[in-house]
Chains A and B, each alone.
Chain A
Amino acid sequence: MTRLHPNEQELMAYAAGNLSAGKLLCIATHIEYCEQCRADIKRLADMGGSFLETAETAPLSEDLFERIMSKAASLPEIKSGDQTAPSVAETATCRRAAGQPLKSLIPRPLMKLIPDGYDALPWKRLGKSLRITYLPVGDSQYEVSMQRIAPGGKVFEHGHRGEEVTIVLKGSFSDHEGCYQPGDFVVRNTEDQHEPVASSDTECICLSLLSEPIRFTGPLTRLMNPFLQVNK
């Protein structure tokens, strides 16, 4: 089964902050490319606000307000309209303002993990046309990695024991079910076996999330499996 967006449960859990780091990062990356999901996330944030506004109450310690005010007084004063130090997001905006189109840049959620561009990552070669590198996101449930497939290159047929989510960041790839473009959120489950191929004109870079290690199913490639173990 393929779907190109996270499903509604995943979007809801993302908007509520109820996902582990790897999944938050993948959905955040998809949203950088997807206006439709961005609109849903806004609705979900409004829903969160409504729930909060009408939530039950829990009594606060009597001195909490005073403690907050004394902490506030010790913070540097902010003048109205003063936009002080730029946040990470604002820095990202500046880089984008330098004239490059959004989609050729590193998506904002990945900027800390890929500070110097894709080429500077410690890629490990796995066969002729596939390179892979793990991203340290601090997630105990999921392994997050990047895959880089040479133009026209093939990733050996493999099956999944768990769930695999792939988000295309650059280029495109296809398999027996379709062709995937930047931003597409491609989900594979246990029963799927597939053999992705990058488009012939440009390399394909993907972000991927795995709940269990991939198994290559061809007889010669089985030897590679130890390289793809989930590191925990």
Chain B
Amino acid sequence: MQSDTHPKTPADWSKVLVKVAGRDQQAFRKLYDHFGPRLKSYALKNSAGFSSPSQFAEELVQEVMLLVWNKSHLFDSNKAAASTWIFTLARNKRVDMLRKNQNSEVSLDSEDFFPEETDDFDHVDHLHARQVGRQVREALMELPDMQRQVLQAVYIEGKTQQEVAEAFGVPLGTVKSRIRLAMEKLKLLHGEVN
């Protein structure tokens, strides 16, 4: 039914996700085996405010994987990499679970905070979008370890620059300059520099 070679590149994962849209349970299992444990570690690093971090983390994995199963037909491999798509599902689910946990009575949720991009709204140049995605991944892989770790701590783990400085035992100025260098390489700098 499918080869046993393990997907290695983002394009491979997109193909797996397209198979999931065709209701291929083996492809879904493959995706789960790779992304499930990574989603859990992502959730554990962002579990502040939850009384049981591991319960929250597995619930997030479950909810995200259900969304993957249920929404895979909406995934468009021309627009984004599979990992980017799964990351945004996880981010949105985490925001919603956090708000629920805080008993927020307001009806706002991740659909309001992150309206989906639609074609008429955003005249997407698909080739360009894919190239940008690849550039970002390559630039990220080429970053020196220290820059990447600091960036990951701020971005994925939501730490303040001060907290990162303490965690890594380096001065705050060093953290700021590492982030700045990383952002420059990723072409993520615009506007004025504070």
* A positions within 8 Å CB-CB of B: 3-5, 7-8, 11-13, 15-18, 21, 24-25, 28, 32, 36, 38-40, 42-53, 55-61, 64-65, 67-69, 71-72, 75, 78-83, 87-90, 92-93, 96-97, 102, 108-113, 136-138
Contacts and interface: CB of A to CB of B under 8 A. Distances in A.
A137 B99 CA distance: 11
B190 A40 contact: yes
Contact of B29 (A3, A16, A58, A65): A65
B74 A24 contact: no
B1 interface: no
Contact of B104 (A8, A21, A82): A21
Interface of B: 10, 13, 21-23, 25, 29, 32, 35-42, 44, 46, 57-58, 61-62, 65-66, 69-70, 73-74, 80-88, 90-92, 94-95, 99, 102, 104-108, 110-118, 120-122, 129, 132-133, 136-137, 140-141, 151-152, 154-156, 158, 183, 186-192, 194
A87 to B, nearest CB: 6
A75 B85 contact: no
Given A21-B113, A110-B112, 13 more contacts: A15-B91, A17-B94, A42-B132, A51-B87, A52-B83, A58-B37, A68-B65, A71-B62, A72-B69, A75-B69, A83-B74, A90-B118, A93-B118
Contact of B84 (A25, A49, A89): A49
Max chain B Cβ within 10 angstroms of own Cβ: one of A21, A25, A92, A137: A21
